[in-house]
Structure 1
Amino acid sequence: MIDASFLQELQRFNLIVNKRVTSKYTGERKSIGSGSGTIFKEHRIYTPGDNFRAIDWKVYARTDDLYVKMFEEERNLNVHILIDTSGSMAFNEKFDYAAKLGLGFAFLALKNNEKIHFSTFAKDIATFKGSKGQRQILTMMDHLNKIKPAGVSEIFDSVRAYKKGIHSRSFIVIISDFLTDIDKIIASLKLLGKGHTVRIVQVLDIEEKDMPLEGDFTLLDAESDGKLRTYISKRTQQTYVKRLNQHVNEIRSACNELGFQFFQFTTEKPVFDTFFELVNS
């Protein structure tokens, strides 16, 4: 459950993280062109086809060479935030943790006057539509608090459907435990393609990462409700951790290949420490 105190903490944290996020966004928001613009960048030698009105005649008077002025134009960045709401996210504090991270990104984007697109996914993609401006954060918080993670994660179908609405270069954050079929995960990442700034954030509970269990247990599949009675030995623990690490490494490798940033956090880490690491990367 996210309460008003979290938003108050975000406000206090804003002086630090807002500066960090702004500096990270700047490169994505600028487009460079000749002629009029908002920020002068540099001179470039005139070539046929350049805007004749962009010639700097003062430079020509000094050098007898034609140069055009290059400017940077600030453009609003489209920020896309997707949060997994499948059944496995209901384990302990995973969904609340993921929701806080997503809400934090939305808060900072709005503070920077960026356009945000906030969605959740499990079997299908669901796009949040709320009020505009800073009030949007409050309605978004209420929306997240009403969600009860359930069902299977169809990440490939969700990303495929969502991608149809991405029409420009964007900043994309996907927050999930990514405990689903590795082929579907990698295929969904490839769907996003290159050209965007993408951060893939894996949120796990410490018990999922280290599996500190031993003895007889009945395991419940949170997404299918299937049950399995089993004995967990030291060898079982080691095999589980090995396979999980292999799964994570495949996701990380795919992200590296695509130029995405991959992060893994456990919910025992203070959420603002995690958030600071994300916006400072």
Structure 2
Amino acid sequence: MIDPGFLAELDRFDTSLKRVSNAPLQGDQRSPDVGEGLTFSDHRRYAPGDDPRLIDWKAYARTEELFIKRFEAERNLTVHVLLDATASMDFGESDLNKFEYGAKLGLGFCHLTAEDNNDFQFSLIGDVPDRIDTDASSRGEVLRLVNHLNETTPTGDGDITAALEEYAETIRSRSLILVVSDLLFDPDDVAAGLTALARNDVVVAQVLTPEEIGPEATGDAIFEDPESDAIRRTYFGGTAARRYSDRLQAHLDDVEERCQALGIERELVDTGGDFFDTFAGLWLGARLGGDHRD
């Protein structure tokens, strides 16, 4: 289960967030700043966790409902989190679980985005994209997402090409997109899906467990395919272990090559690594990716 307490530890990344929100990845921005005093845009309903200073009390007096004032700069940066929710992500015990670790990375991006009064969207990716946020982009919304993700069980084998292509059609302005997946799909399918997103700034977190990166099993072993539930008993070690390592490395190299060709930042994430070190690397990659684009 994801403990939302980890979000408080991310507040030290506020400075990096400001660098992201001031970077060219915002596209047609009207102002590098966010907050009161900017050009008023519209309202949205108040959600728990919103800054009460932004409540429009005149609107409340008229309607007896709470609304938040939105300003032009609030729309300058939209962060999209696309989290793989296929069955292969439900691998790894406790804190090593790929889905849980990847969810925390996405939630961290949303938390910092909300802290800077920018917008985020959070979707699960399977055969199709499933958007699970309510468009509130607040701290309260991030906490609601924690609960939703804790109740989610990854399932199915998914279609990454179709899901990413369909999601790309919903993006209306230049955005920062975080794709979190083990990318255990055909590299051609991965590349096709990412190509649809590549007009935006994209960061890919390829999440694997230590056991997948370097399995320690030797001798007779039972392997289970989480997507098909197929089970195979075999001897693992020696030639089989080397063959596995070679195939995995070839796959990782192929994915990295496709991402480089598309100008996409891709990080291999080991769920056995320190979460905050991993998050810092991804956040820095998002900032530098924006700073180096035209």
- Give the TM-score of the pair, scaled to structure 1: 0.80
1:259-270 counterparts in 2 under 5 A? 259-270=263-274
In structure 2, the CA distance between the partners of 1:190 and 1:30, relative to structure 1 (3 Å rule), is closer
Amino acid at match of 2:115: K
Map of 1:60 onto structure 2: none
1:72-221 counterparts in 2 under 5 A? 76-92=76-92, 93-130=97-134, 132=136, 133-194=138-199, 196-221=200-225
Amino acid at match of 1:181: D
State the secondary structure of the residue aligned to 1:280. helix
State the secondary structure of the residue aligned to 2:183. coil
1:268-279 counterparts in 2 under 5 A? 268-279=272-283
1:41-80 counterparts in 2 under 5 A? 76-80=76-80
Asked whether 1:20 is paired with 2:24, we answer: no
Map of 2:7 onto structure 1: 7
How many Å apart are 1:248 and its aligned residue?
Answer: 1.0
How many Å apart are 1:30 and its aligned residue?
Answer: 5.8
State the secondary structure of the residue aligned to 2:22. helix
Map of 2:41 onto structure 1: none
Q: Number of aligned pairs?
A: 239
State the secondary structure of the residue aligned to 1:219. strand
CA distance in structure 2 between the partners assigned to 1:17 and 1:138 by the alignment? 18
Asked whether 1:239 is paired with 2:243, we answer: yes
Structure ID, larger Rg: 1
Return the match for 1:255 from 236, 256, 259.
259
How many Å apart are 1:131 and its aligned residue?
Answer: 6.6
Question: Contact conserved, 2:78 with 2:176, CA < 8 A, in 1?
Answer: yes
CA distance in structure 2 between the partners assigned to 1:21 and 1:38 by the alignment? 16
In structure 2, the CA distance between the partners of 1:128 and 1:108, relative to structure 1 (3 Å rule), is same
CA distance in structure 1 between the partners assigned to 2:26 and 2:133 by the alignment? 24
How many Å apart are 1:232 and its aligned residue?
Answer: 1.1
How many Å apart are 1:138 and its aligned residue?
Answer: 1.1
In structure 2, the CA distance between the partners of 1:104 and 1:38, relative to structure 1 (3 Å rule), is closer
In structure 2, the CA distance between the partners of 1:216 and 1:147, relative to structure 1 (3 Å rule), is same
Question: Contact conserved, 1:252 with 1:262, CA < 8 A, in 2?
Answer: yes
CA distance in structure 1 between the partners assigned to 2:245 and 2:191 by the alignment? 20
Amino acid at match of 1:118: F
CA distance in structure 1 between the partners assigned to 2:174 and 2:224 by the alignment? 41
How many Å apart are 1:4 and its aligned residue?
Answer: 3.2
Structure 1 unaligned runs (5+)? 40-72
State the secondary structure of the residue aligned to 1:106. helix
Map of 1:67 onto structure 2: none
State the secondary structure of the residue aligned to 2:222. strand
Question: Contact conserved, 1:76 with 1:113, CA < 8 A, in 2?
Answer: no
Higher relative contact order (CA closer than 8 Å, sequence separation 6+) = 2
State the secondary structure of the residue aligned to 2:171. coil
In structure 2, the CA distance between the partners of 1:260 and 1:213, relative to structure 1 (3 Å rule), is same
Question: Contact conserved, 1:21 with 1:280, CA < 8 A, in 2?
Answer: no
Off by >3 Å, runs of 4+ in structure 1: none
How many Å apart are 1:38 and its aligned residue?
Answer: 5.0
Q: Percent identity?
A: 33
How well do the aligned residues superpose, as a CA RMSD in angstroms?
Answer: 1.8
In structure 2, the CA distance between the partners of 1:159 and 1:218, relative to structure 1 (3 Å rule), is same
CA distance in structure 2 between the partners assigned to 1:266 and 1:183 by the alignment? 23
Structure 1, residues 117-139: CA drift from partner, whole Å, max 9, x if none? Answer: 10001233210133722210111
Amino acid at match of 1:242: D
How many Å apart are 1:152 and its aligned residue?
Answer: 0.7
How many Å apart are 1:162 and its aligned residue?
Answer: 0.8
